[in-house]
Amino acid sequence: MKMYGLYLEAVNDYINESYGEDVWRLIENRAEIPHLKFVRHQMYNDNLILRLAKAAGEVLGKTHDELMYAFGVYMVKRIGNYGYERILKVLGRNVRDFINELDNLHEYFRFSFPKVQPPSFCVEEECETSLTLHYRSTRKGFTQFVKGQLSQVGRQFYNTDIEVEILS
């Protein structure tokens, strides 16, 4: 399966900003990825991000889950640099509305990213203090990435701490 360079660019930026360029080079070498300059609208094999997380874990002494979560948080923090923050800010009046509009957002992104293969999100149940989200994706290994994204969306756009619990 393929993914756009936008995600890999964010991972590259996260490692460089958090740990430095020398650490990024170590991770790149450990992941056996040639010194690439990721291009936002170019397609890459989605196993590259998983290989980078594995290599980063070995270099930094962190787990795959910790790194994928951090990559997801960083992606949302930096979304303004990619020109999408305004869109996200108006996506919903609250977290539930935001989540329910994610599939529409992914359809909108098809104009810029025509080959996108997005996940699907649907709020199934809701009560005053929680909601049950159904997340579907053909990609394996990205659950913590999405968990990080959702947590950061809550903080950044709704001033809300979101605790995400994986049910199955």
Domain ranges of the chain: 2-64, 79-158
Residue 168, token pair as written in the block:
């199955």
Question: Is residue 125 a contact partner of residue 132, using CB atoms and an 8 Å limit?
Answer: yes
Instruction: Give residue 111's pLDDT.
Output: 75
Instruction: Give residue 127's pLDDT.
Output: 85
Q: What is the DSSP string of 17-48?
A: HHH-HHHHHHHHHHTT-------TTSEEETHH
168 residues of the chain, pLDDT tens digit each: 888 888 899 999 999 999 999 999 999 999 999 877 899 888 898 899 999 999 999 999 999 999 999 999 999 998 877 777 777 878 888 888 999 998 888 787 777 777 778 888 988 888 888 888 989 888 888 999 999 999 999 999 999 998 888 887
Multiple choice CATH, 79-158, 1.10.10.10, 3.90.1520.10, 3.40.50.720, 3.90.1640.30? 3.90.1520.10
Instruction: Give residue 161's pLDDT.
Output: 92
Name, in order, each residue with C-beta under 8 angstroms of 53's C-beta and a sequence gap of 6 or more: 11, 64, 67, 68, 71, 141
